[in-house]
Amino acid sequence: MWMEIDLQSEVPIYEQLVDQLIEGIASAQLRPGDPLPSVRSLAADLGINLHTVNKAYQILKQDGFLQVHRKQGVVVQPDGMPGVDAAFRAKLARGLRTLAAEAAVRGMTEAEFAEQSAAVYRQLLTKGEDAK
């Protein structure tokens, strides 16, 4: 799976890492149990600080998307992904709220907004098929 870091982006690098790894899992480019590079080796490949990679892995571990073993290293969660809980619903609502507000101000209809988000969701799931 390709990973791309934009050094000029305003999004912090660890967030870019988190987002892309979750996208990789969503699109099945990364499957449960797949090994990921160690903190050290990914940091060396990207030429960025060890702590940045570590932070991204720790966030994903805390949320339950990854397992970090001392021996096997970092693997994509093999024992089932975390479900949709109240915390995630709240996070989703927060993110959507900002976007919905701007969409409404710009005059986008509710149907169009819903259609857009459905399209993005579908596109994400088929991305893995295209990458193969």
Q: What is the Cα–Cα distance from 131 to 62, expressed in whole angstroms?
A: 28
* Residue placing its CB nearer to other proteins in the complex, 40 or 122: 40
Q: What is the Cα–Cα distance from 44 to 33, expressed in whole angstroms?
A: 23
CB of 46 to other proteins, least distance (A): 5
Contact 75, 66 (CB under 8 A): yes
* Terminal Cα-to-Cα distance of the chain (whole angstroms): 10
CB of 131 to other proteins, least distance (A): 11
Helix (H) or strand (E) holding 74: strand 74-76
DSSP 108: -
CA count, 13 A, side-chain hemisphere, 86: 0
Among 33, 35, 64, 82, binds other proteins (CB under 8 A): 35
* Residue placing its CB nearer to other proteins in the complex, 48 or 108: 48
CB of 56 to other proteins, least distance (A): 12
Q: Measured in whole angstroms, how far is the alpha carbon of residue 83 from the centre of its chain? A: 15
With contacts defined by CB under 8 A, name the span among 36-44, 61-69, 79-87, 95-103 that binds other proteins.
36-44
Q: Does 66 bind other proteins (CB under 8 A)?
A: no
Q: Does 2 bind other proteins (CB under 8 A)?
A: yes
CB of 49 to other proteins, least distance (A): 7
Binding site for other proteins (CB under 8 A): 1-8, 24, 30, 35-37, 40-50
